[in-house]
């Protein structure tokens, strides 16, 4: 039970930091002359946040499934790799379709923000243990 509480706190921290980054990108888009850069970061980060949220939800389901079904022959839930890849493809298509609004390189960088948040969260909380 302790590990589930720890996992829930970790999920909450990661989502909070993603919201902070999204707010920072909105402010950058609104108050700087680099509109396409911040809009690209915003598009990529919104989809990255969606991927983070779905991955966390599926990991939670997988943990519950493993705890309740030890030797079950039924299909185990997946982590949704295909849907995360499809989200990245959607971001690229939108960015290429509307090149005047989105900078494609920053869309790709935005897609990686959730992984950056996970890594930094791990480093900060590893040092506090």
Is residue 67 pLDDT above 70, yes or no?
Answer: no
Give which of 47, 50, 60, 48 is closest to 10, Cα–Cα.
60
What's the pLDDT tens digit per position in 74-94? 666 677 789 989 999 999 999
Q: Residue 76 phi/psi, 5° resolution?
A: -85, 145
Neighbours of 43 (CB within 10 A): 23
pTM of this prediction? 0.85
Using alpha carbons, list the distances in angstroms from residue 117 to 13, 25, 28.
9, 15, 19
**90-126: pLDDT as tens digits:** 999 999 999 999 999 999 999 999 999 999 999 988 8
* Six-digit token string for 39: 């809009």
């Amino acid at each position: 039970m302790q590990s589930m509480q720890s996992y829930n706190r970790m999920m909450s921290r990661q989502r909070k930091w993603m919201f902070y980054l999204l707010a920072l990108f909105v402010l950058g888009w609104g108050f700087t002359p680099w509109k396409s850069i911040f809009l690209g970061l915003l598009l990529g980060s919104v989809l990255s946040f969606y991927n983070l949220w779905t991955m966390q939800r599926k990991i939670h389901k997988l943990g519950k499934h493993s705890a309740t079904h030890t030797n079950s022959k039924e299909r185990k839930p997946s982590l949704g790799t295909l849907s995360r890849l499809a989200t990245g493809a959607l971001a690229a298509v939108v960015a290429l379709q509307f090149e005047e609004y989105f900078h494609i390189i920053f869309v790709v960088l935005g897609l990686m923000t959730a992984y950056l948040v996970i890594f930094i969260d791990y480093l900060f909380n590893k040092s506090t243990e």
